[in-house]
Amino acid sequence: MKKLAAFKSLLASPGRVVIVTHFKPDADALGSSLGLAGFLTKKGHQVSVITPSDYPDFLAWMPGNDSVIALTKDPGPEQQAAKLIQQATLIFCLDFSNLSRISNLGEMIKQSGAVKVLIDHHLEPEAFADFEQWSAEAASTAGLVFELIEELEEKSLIDRNIAACLYAGVMTDTGGFRHNNTRYREFQIASELVRLGADPHQIARQIYDTNSLERLRLTGYVLSEKLVVLPAYRTAYMMLSHEELKKFGAQTGDTEGLVNYGLSINNVKMSVLMYDRKEEIKLSFRSLGNFSVNELARKHFAGGGHRNASGGSSKLSLDDTLKKLLALLPEYQHLLLED
């Protein structure tokens, strides 16, 4: 981190800290937030973690989960969040870098006079923070939190709870140490976290091997009925209506990972999942090699992320969102057919 000395002295006296992460947080978003919260609490700060929405049940085991303020349709948590943000001396934004991605909370943070810190690994961050721990090479935000603690020379404060939260982020954002963002460094960080008490087997089980029967049935349905391959564009896509999600009793997080199946098909270079969240259509993109889904998501679907893993949204109907995607494919065909 640049200006590390100034940051260090900022942390030296107790403050009112708010940690915010992105909409529908995944294990990296929540794990990095709760890991950092554990660390800052140990340093004597008063810390609150706020999420702009709910998140999957398979993340509820994370130490600190019980005190997370998750915004819902109910106005209570949002009022509580507004008050905490107003009173905060220090606000951390983790695992996202565009305040527009957290709707109302983004506005509140913009208005706040607190010192702002960005910890993130997504491409093209918005410049709003006073301090940044940012790297697009880092596979996870949790890894960046670990490195920041290391830079502060306070690794001794990482206990087994903090280590478990951070390990979960490193594990999931590398797809279980499989994606092309998995560097030597990720293994180093992971091994340090295991040394400090994270249990790789337990954490993997809690995140990957705790399916509800409904979720497995939904996966089966998507793979057998909804997966479409377009060989001419080396593209696979899946589309789920609100009715279908309802029929399978889908819960938050149940669609996570579906998009990866498309990318495992021989010769497919891009996989897209589209589903109806009711207030908008959510899109997930994955690609292999040089093909940048970040560019596609940013330019056409108000989103972004990483080169090979991005997300976005659409205000069109589900069918019109598909039409829009299909109409874009010819423009990208030459890139999709490369190598």
Positions that interact with ligand 5GP (CB under 6 A): 22, 98, 101, 122, 284, 303-306, 309-313
- Pick the closer one to ligand 5GP by CB: 235 or 313: 313
Closest contact distance (angstroms) between CB of 43 and ligand 5GP is 27
Choosing from 21, 97, 112, 141, the residue that interacts with Mn ion (CB under 5 A) is 141
The Cα–Cα gap between 296 and 186 comes to 27
Closest contact distance (angstroms) between CB of 18 and ligand 5GP is 20
- Pick the closer one to ligand 5GP by CB: 123 or 152: 123
Closest contact distance (angstroms) between CB of 275 and ligand 5GP is 11
The Cα–Cα gap between 106 and 238 comes to 31
Which range of residues in 20-28, 76-84, 86-94, 263-271 is near Mn ion by CB under 5 A?
A: 20-28
Phi first, then psi, for residue 310 (nearest 5°) are -140, 170
CA dihedral 295, 260, 72, 221 (to 10 degrees): 130
DSSP-derived pairing of the beta strands 270-276 and 16-21: unpaired
- Would you put residue 47 in left (φ > 0), alpha (ψ -120 to 50) or beta? beta
- Pick the closer one to ligand 5GP by CB: 7 or 285: 285
Mark 155-194 with x for binding to Mn ion (rule: CB under 5 A) and - for no binding.
Answer: ------------------x---------------------
Question: Which residues on adjacent β-strands are paired with residue 243?
Answer: none
Contacted by 141, from ligand 5GP, Mn ion, none: CB < 5 to 8 Å by type: Mn ion
Contacted by 101, from Mn ion, ligand 5GP, none: CB < 5 to 8 Å by type: ligand 5GP
Closest contact distance (angstroms) between CB of 95 and Mn ion is 4
Closest contact distance (angstroms) between CB of 50 and Mn ion is 17
201: how many CB neighbours lie within 10 A of its CB? 8
| Residue nearest Mn ion (C-beta atom) | 28
Is residue 120 close enough to count as binding Mn ion by CB under 5 A?
A: no
Q: Which two tokens stand for residue 106?
A: 């983004």
Question: How would you list the strands of the sheet with 69-70, edge to edge?
Answer: 69-70, 46-51, 16-21, 90-94, 115-120, 131-134
Closest contact distance (angstroms) between CB of 303 and Mn ion is 14
89: how many CB neighbours lie within 10 A of its CB? 17
Closest contact distance (angstroms) between CB of 28 and Mn ion is 4
Identify whether the C-beta of residue 121 lies closer than 8 Å to the C-beta of residue 134: yes
- Pick the closer one to ligand 5GP by CB: 29 or 158: 29
The Cα–Cα gap between 282 and 276 comes to 6
Is residue 256 close enough to count as binding Mn ion by CB under 5 A?
A: no
The Cα–Cα gap between 269 and 335 comes to 10
CA dihedral 108, 82, 121, 254 (to 10 degrees): -120
Residue with tokens 């993130």: 120
- Pick the closer one to ligand 5GP by CB: 27 or 85: 27
Coil/strand/helix, residue 162: helix
Identify whether the C-beta of residue 95 lies closer than 8 Å to the C-beta of residue 118: no
- Pick the closer one to ligand 5GP by CB: 206 or 313: 313
Report which of 39, 10, 14, 16 is spatially closest to residue 89, judged by C-alpha positions.
16
Closest contact distance (angstroms) between CB of 223 and ligand 5GP is 18
Choosing from 95, 132, 186, 276, the residue that interacts with Mn ion (CB under 5 A) is 95
Is residue 28 close enough to count as binding Mn ion by CB under 5 A?
A: yes
| Residue nearest ligand 5GP (C-beta atom) | 311
Contacted by 132, from ligand 5GP, Mn ion, none: CB < 5 to 8 Å by type: none
Residues lying near Mn ion in the complex (CB under 5 A): 28, 95, 141, 173
